[in-house]
Each structure stands twice: as C-alpha cells, then as structure tokens.
Amino acid sequence: METLEKLDVTVIEPRLKHPTIFSKFDALAGGQAFIIHNDHDPKPLYYQLLGERGNIFKWEYLEEGPEVWEVRISKLTPAEGETVGELVAKDYRKAQVFKKYGIDFCCGGKKSVAQVCEEKGVDQEQLEQELNATGQVSNARENDYSSWDLSFLADYIVNMHHKYVRESLPALYEYTTKLARVHGQRHPELVEIAKHFVNVANELEAHMPKEERVLFPYIKQLEEAKKRGLQMDTPPFGSIQNPINMMEMEHENAGGELEAIRRLSSNYTVPADGCATYQVGFAKLKEFEEDLHRHIHLENNILFPKALELEKEVLK
Ligand SMILES: [Fe+2]
Ligand SMILES: [Fe+2]
C-alpha cells in the first residue's frame, strides 16, 4: 500500500486552510495524491476545487465521520481529464451513447470517461469507439448551444425547459398519485415512485425561481458589462461560484430522485397488467427525465462554466 502525505487540516489556521490545500494540490503531478484529515465533512472544498481547478482530480472518502473525515485527493493525468459533460457540450449526439450505458452526463457530468466506466463497469474501449462513431454520422441540425450568447441561452432555458417543467408537474403529479392509489397494492414501488416525484417537484419549484430571479439576471449583467467594456462591483453573494455550487447541488438532488424513479420502475417498464394510465404515466415520466437531463446539461456544462469565465473578466 502506498504511503501518502497526510495534511491535518484541523491544525491549520482557518484563513489558511483552503490556500494550503490548494497549493498542495497544485504541486501534485498527474497521477499523484495526498490525503486531507478533517473534523467535519470537507464537501465545500470539493466544490471549490471543482470550480477553480475543474475536473482534474478524484475525490475519495477514506473515512466519513462522525468524528474524523479523510479524503484522498488525486490529480488526474491529462488523458483522464476530459469530462463526460464537456464531451456532450461539444457534441450533444454523444449524449445518446452515454444514455445507452446509463451514464449520467448532466447532474454527474463532471467525471471523466475513465471514472464513469470504472463506476459502471463499462468497457471503456467499446464506449470510446461508439463515442467516436457519433462524430461520423452527420445528424440533422443540433443546436450549437456553445456558440450562443449567455443571455440568449439563459432565456432559452427558461422559455423551453422551465416552462416545460411547470407545465408537466401538475399532470405528472396526478398520474403518479393515481397510479399509487389504484395499483399500489399489487405494485408497491408505485407508492415509492409517487413520493420521489413529490420530492423532485418540490425541489424544482424552489430551484427555478432562484435561477430566474438571481443567477440568470446576474449572468445577463455580466454579459452586458463585457459588451460595454465596463467593470462590475462584487455581487452580494461574493462570487457567482457560490450560487452555482448551490444550483449544482440542487441539480444533483433532482437527478437523484429521477434516478430512483427510473430504478423503481425498471427503466419505465410497464408490467403486463398495466393499464393505459400506467403506460401514459411512465412515458411522461421518461420524457420528463430526458428533458431534465438536457436542461441540467445546458446549465452545468455550458452556461455555468462560461459565466464563471465571464465573471473573471468583468469583476473589478
Ligand atoms: Fe434551470
Ligand atoms: Fe437549474
């Protein structure tokens, strides 16, 4: 077993904790690692590292409380570095390949191909062949979201995806509660599905207004300032990294609820005794999940990273 350097974060002066960890991380070569030892879950550091250094590290809990937390942080080699999300941002057709293998490219898209293959037990060579093959078939028009102005992309997300979510929730709520009521005896998973659906509905209803009222208007201001060659003051929330971290965490929660629904429904498979409501309900849930994946992909993999870059240019 390799012996790794262990950094005891509890004895470092608070304001020096993160800089010390960052400089330790920066000094690593690809493939090297160190361990941090802490007295609480250092998850905020995970998001800070992700935001400021990008997905070039692996984060593994060796111990998870209640008194001691230890995490092995390893720096990836450049070849391992390109993330699933970045690949899909460049070419949305690749999403099909990831979907086929049940690989999450949006909510958990900040992982490298090597990482997800390891997690899912997928043959990486086979997957990469299929990913490369998508580049050769010229597909019908796929929007080139990466080239859009951020204000336009933000409006697109609200008008297409937020609108779709708001329109779909009431009907889906009815379907899932009805299914649980009528068939819950014979199919108890329907009761669980209805609960998870309420969770995701609540999560999204609280989540979207934050984007619409705070985050997206701020992104538009940044873009406007850049066009006019102006510098902006620091916003009340410090840096856009903070609301982005929060949004990404909420995306993960929503994605997790839908993943649970997918699992409970065996990939939306209607049983032999399933009625028409069953069929329509599952078809709509599946459509809802697909829409949410594209929606979160646009935010996590395109809008947010570009807004972070923009903020660096524009803030005083
Ligand atoms: Fe959104
Ligand atoms: Fe969102």
CA–centroid distance, residue 288 to ligand 2 (Å)? 14
N- to C-terminal Cα separation, the chain: 48
How many angstroms is it from 285 CA to the middle of ligand 2? 18
Beta bridge partners of 7: 36
Which residues have a beta carbon within 5 Å of ligand 1, which is an ion? 211
Same domain, 174 and 303: yes
Per-residue pLDDT of 256-272, as tens digits, reads: 999 999 999 999 999 98
CA–CA dist 310, 314 (Å, integer): 6
CATH of the domain at 55: 3.30.110
Residues with CB under 5 Å of ion ligand 2 are 299
Query: Does 139 fall in a domain?
Result: no
**Residue 140 domain flag:** no
Quote the domain boundaries for residue 189: 145-314
Judge if 55 and 129 occupy the same domain. Answer: no
User: Residue 11 to residues 17, 36, 37, 38, 178: CA-CA distances in angstroms?
Assistant: 9, 12, 10, 9, 56
Q: Rounded to the nearest whole angstrom, what is the distance from the C-alpha of residue 89 to the centroid of ligand 1?
A: 16
Cis, peptide link before residue 170, omega less than 30° from 0 = no
Q: Are 205 and 309 in the same domain?
A: yes
pLDDT in the model for residue 138: 45
Determine the distance separating the centroid of ligand 1 and the alpha carbon of 208, expressed in angstroms.
5
The 8-class DSSP code of residue 141 comes to P
Q: Which ligand is in closest contact with the Cα of 159?
A: 1
- pTM (predicted TM-score): 0.65
CA 169 – ligand 1 centroid, Å: 15
What local confidence, expressed as pLDDT, does residue 69 receive?
94
pLDDT of residue 140: 41
Phi then psi for 175, rounded to 5 degrees? -60, -50
50/249 Cα distance (integer angstroms): 13
Instruction: Report how far residue 269's alpha carbon sits from residue 248's, in angstroms, rounded to the nearest whole number.
Output: 29
Ligand nearest to the CA of 300: 2
Cα–Cα distances in Å, from 134 out to 84, 91, 131, 188?
14, 9, 6, 40
Same domain, 95 and 205: no
| Ligand 1 centroid to residue 211 C-alpha, Å | 6
Q: How many CA atoms lie within 13 A of 182 on its CB side?
A: 13
Weakly modelled stretches of the chain, pLDDT under 50: 137-141
* Predicted local distance difference test score (pLDDT) of residue 3: 80
Q: How far is the CA of 297 from the centre of ligand 2 (A)?
A: 9
H-helix or E-strand spanning residue 262: helix 241-264
**Cα–Cα separations (whole angstroms), residue 170 to 125, 165, 188, 198:** 43, 9, 22, 11
